[in-house]
């Protein structure tokens, strides 16, 4: 017997954790009754309520019953809220990831729309009492209501779908722009998700016009009921200042067009979900809800059944689960307690370290350098950063004073005598780092831990000058230190279990995600990027135009072109990275000779007054023009295959060399350390989809079901 898509959707939800819709009738102060629906999955706050097919059908039945009650006159309003700390956390992603076909995915969109539309068709006003997390479908529940109020303590509010490779497909892409206009709506639907899934709190949601009122958290529910009573009785008039007027409607298309160009300039055109979202927001200006919701159903079905969503779920699982406990962490080893931190250096990077350690570990931090002038400048820089955070409301005045009091400076290594943890941030040269470690070991306690932030030098060689190399660990941050979530923890053959366990504990306290890597050049992220940058420089030095090389790299999904990345990290640094990898593996990594010439010139890209890249600097192009007349430029497709094959080769070698235990650590590193987009799922799923894995080593990094069909 053939099963329908609806039947298949029902079968998939057999093990769903159902969020039930409990109804309580609440008397209104001015007379009449409000039916209060509470969404609750019966779990504690650690398991937010989600919305699967069975949940939606139960909610649909409840709303049908309430509509009958409204028609009979037994209720005068309906409100919907959530369990403690959570309104609703959106669709059940485990259910969505298991959808077997586009047709079944389409049914999920239709079910969501059919259910939530009932909130605006009850015959009485509907109210969303948003008391906590309201993500994706959760926020869309609120958007379907007639009115919305937010708790002052509500956190985690947004539409993160684009971040996950889909779109707000239960009304959000249509209703939000109609409520607050396209520009503000695109901030929530596209811009925030692309900024590492930035979310709002209740205050921001009300300021943006999503909410009609902000209710103090201490009396949220009774105050929300009283506010709703005011609206129902006519005492409270709701004014929505952010609703789009005639001018905004006239400029609607222009706003979306500008946003489209900005998105393409930032992330390229490979990710599908941002552009489908832009299409839906553009269309939201006109047409009936039936038409617009049908568009959402089609877009959601296409994306849910596509390979980018499958890749996003793989990436999401890495970040949510695998990142919680680093693979290779020592079992049963207690980390050492850190009571004081020393930072060798007082420059920009050292100052970032000191601020982060003081803020997160809440222990004294001392920085040191060769002169009092440098030390004073470093401390002043840290104080300025704290003042900036205070001005932005990221720290309280008391916390700002506490952080400043924890940081001090000295020109003497004696200040490190009682430090448990000392990290160096000195010049990236082996002899310099060895010299400071040799000297510092004479001062610090025998059990104090030494850490290096090197990005390319051998940690083992660095530790060879120590009387106890077991105390040394690599602790590689990514810049900017406060923002980038990844930490590469480098274990040498000598690093002790206790030191490694302590390093992982410190990383967790710093709110960083750690991956454990062997001591090989470039570790994980820089080794992969060095292969990309090397192939890019090889291409231009063989005569392929810069533009063509960049076009060939674009399908990889990296957040910027190789040449933009080189300017971001610094051209001299890029040349050093290429040279260090070429020295280790000259047959695979291209040297940095041409890049050194460009570094002396100072730039690759030309930019406008706002700093936006406008092209390639003619002098830089000339500096790497091939000397040989027989140099043969290639097209973008050939460059793309060169990039893919080089990466498949390098990732495969990294696994064979034991740099990490599994390919998932490489993907996690690139997602968190290089901004690799969720839609690509990491570099290894892309290499499998593109066929590069088969071409290079005759296999795959993953089972085909994990990464979806080939894209070429």
Q: How far is CA 650 from CA 398, 549, 581, 645, 656, in A?
A: 49, 19, 12, 9, 10
Cα 109 from chain centroid (whole Å) = 25
Phi then psi for 207, rounded to 5 degrees? -60, -35
Q: Which residue is it, tokens 């995915």?
A: 105
Q: How far is CA 291 from CA 56, 134, 286, 295, 296, in A?
A: 22, 26, 9, 6, 9
Structure tokens at 573: 């640094």
Q: Which residue is it, tokens 């931190």?
A: 341
Catalytic residue among 68, 84, 107, 140: 140
191 catalytic, yes or no? no
Find, among 216, 236, 232, 235, the residue nearest to 224 by Cα: 216
C-alpha 177/C-alpha 184 separation (Å) is 7
C-alpha 445/C-alpha 421 separation (Å) is 10
| Beta-sheet pairing, 605-607 with 613-616 | antiparallel
C-alpha 459/C-alpha 574 separation (Å) is 20
Q: Which residue is it, tokens 């291409």?
A: 539
The secondary structure of 634-669 as a DSSP string is --HHHHHHHHHHHHHHHHHHHHHHTSSSSHHHHHHH
Which DSSP helix (H) or strand (E) runs through 475?
Answer: strand 472-477
Cα 69 from chain centroid (whole Å) = 45
Structure tokens at 453: 């932030």
Give, rounded to a whole angstrom, the gap between the first and last alpha carbons of the chain. Answer: 35
**Three-state SS at 45:** coil
**Three-state SS at 130:** strand
Q: Which residue is it, tokens 């010299």?
A: 435
Cβ proximity of 647 and 528 under 8 Å: yes
Question: Would you tell me the crossing angle of helices 102-116 and 137-144 to the nearest 10 degrees?
Answer: 40
What count of residues does the chain have? 712
644 catalytic, yes or no? no
Cβ atoms within 10 Å of 337's Cβ, excluding its own: 9
Query: What number of H helices and E strands is found in the chain?
Result: 32, 19
Catalytic residue among 16, 68, 107, 161: 161
Q: In what order do the strands lie in the sheet with 20-27?
A: 20-27, 33-40, 77-82, 126-130, 147-151, 213-215
Find, among 14, 6, 122, the residue nearest to 63 by Cα: 122
DSSP code of residue 609:
T
Q: Which residue is it, tokens 């160009």?
A: 261
C-alpha 479/C-alpha 483 separation (Å) is 8
C-alpha 300/C-alpha 296 separation (Å) is 6
Half-sphere exposure of 480 (CA within 13 A, CB side): 8
Contacts of residue 294, Cβ cutoff 8 Å, sequence gap at least 6: none
Contacts of residue 602, Cβ cutoff 8 Å, sequence gap at least 6: 571
The catalytic residues are 140, 161
């Amino acid at each position: 017997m053939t099963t329908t898509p609806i039947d298949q959707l029902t079968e998939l939800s057999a093990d769903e954790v159902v969020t039930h819709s409990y109804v309580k009738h609440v008397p209104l102060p001015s007379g009449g009754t409000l039916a209060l629906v509470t969404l609750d999955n019966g779990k504690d706050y650690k398991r937010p309520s989600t919305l699967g097919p069975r949940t939606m059908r139960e909610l649909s039945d409840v709303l049908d019953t309430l509509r009958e009650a409204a028609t009979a006159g037994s209720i005068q309003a309906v409100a919907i809220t959530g369990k403690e700390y959570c309104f609703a956390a959106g669709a059940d992603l485990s259910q969505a990831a298991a959808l077997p076909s586009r047709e079944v995915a389409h049914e999920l969109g239709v079910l969501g729309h059919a259910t939530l539309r009932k909130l605006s068709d009850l015959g009485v006003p509907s109210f969303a009492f948003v008391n906590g997390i309201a993500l994706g479908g959760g926020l869309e529940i609120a958007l379907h209501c007639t009115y919305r109020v937010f708790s002052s303590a509500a956190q985690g509010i947004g539409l993160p779908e684009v971040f996950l490779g889909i779109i707000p497909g239960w009304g959000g892409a249509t209703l939000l722009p109609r409520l607050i206009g396209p520009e503000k709506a695109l901030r929530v639907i596209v811009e925030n998700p692309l900024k590492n899934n930035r979310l709002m709190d209740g205050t921001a949601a009300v300021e943006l016009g999503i909410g009609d009122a902000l209710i103090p958290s201490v009396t949220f529910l009774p105050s929300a009921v009283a506010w709703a009573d005011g609206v129902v009785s006519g005492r409270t008039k709701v004014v929505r200042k952010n609703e789009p007027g005639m001018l905004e409607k006239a400029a609607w298309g222009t706003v979306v067009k500008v946003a489209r160009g900005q998105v393409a300039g930032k992330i390229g055109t490979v990710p599908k979900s941002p552009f489908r979202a832009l299409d839906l927001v553009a269309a939201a200006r006109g047409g009936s809800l039936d038409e617009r919701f049908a568009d959402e159903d089609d877009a959601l079905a296409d994306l849910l059944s596509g390979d980018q969503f499958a890749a996003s779920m793989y990436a999401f699982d890495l970040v949510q689960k695998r990142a919680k406990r680093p693979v290779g962490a020592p079992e049963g080893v207690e980390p050492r307690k850190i009571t004081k931190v020393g930072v060798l250096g007082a420059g920009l990077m050292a100052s970032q370290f000191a601020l982060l350690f003081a803020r997160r570990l809440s222990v004294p931090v001392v920085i040191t350098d060769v002169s009092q002038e440098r030390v004073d400048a470093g401390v002043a820089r840290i104080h300025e950063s704290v003042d900036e955070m205070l001005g932005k409301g990221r720290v309280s005045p008391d916390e700002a004073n506490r952080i400043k009091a924890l940081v001090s400076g000295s020109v003497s290594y004696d200040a490190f005598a009682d430090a448990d943890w000392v990290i160096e941030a000195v010049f990236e040269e082996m002899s310099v780092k060895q010299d400071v470690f040799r000297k510092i070991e004479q001062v610090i306690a025998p059990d104090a831990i030494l850490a290096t932030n090197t990005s390319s030098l051998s940690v083992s060689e660095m530790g060879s000058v120590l009387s106890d190399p077991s105390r040394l660990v690599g602790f590689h941050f990514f810049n900017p230190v406060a923002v980038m979530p990844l930490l590469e923890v480098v274990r040498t053959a000598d690093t002790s279990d206790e030191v490694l366990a302590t390093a992982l504990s410190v990383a967790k306290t710093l709110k960083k995600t750690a991956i454990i890597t062997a001591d090989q050049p470039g570790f994980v992220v820089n080794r992969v990027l060095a292969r990309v940058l090397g192939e890019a420089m090889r291409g231009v030095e063989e005569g392929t135009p810069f533009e063509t090389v960049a076009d060939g790299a674009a399908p990889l999904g990296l957040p910027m072109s190789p040449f933009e990345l080189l300017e971001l990290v610094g051209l001299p640094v890029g040349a050093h990275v290429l040279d260090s990898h070429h020295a280790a593996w000259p047959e695979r990594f291209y040297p940095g000779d041409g890049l050194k010439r460009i570094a002396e010139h100072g730039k690759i890209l030309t930019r406008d007054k706002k700093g936006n890249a406008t092209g390639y600097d003619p002098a830089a192009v000339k500096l790497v023009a091939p000397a040989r007349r027989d140099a043969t430029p290639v097209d973008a497709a050939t460059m793309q295959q060169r990039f893919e094959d080089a990466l498949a080769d390098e990732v495969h070698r990294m696994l064979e060399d034991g740099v990490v235990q599994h390919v998932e650590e490489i993907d996690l590193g690139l997602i968190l350390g290089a901004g690799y987009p969720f839609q690509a799922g990491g570099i290894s799923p892309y290499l499998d989809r593109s066929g590069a894995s088969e071409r290079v080593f005759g296999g795959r990094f993953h089972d085909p079901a994990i990464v979806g069909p080939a894209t070429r």
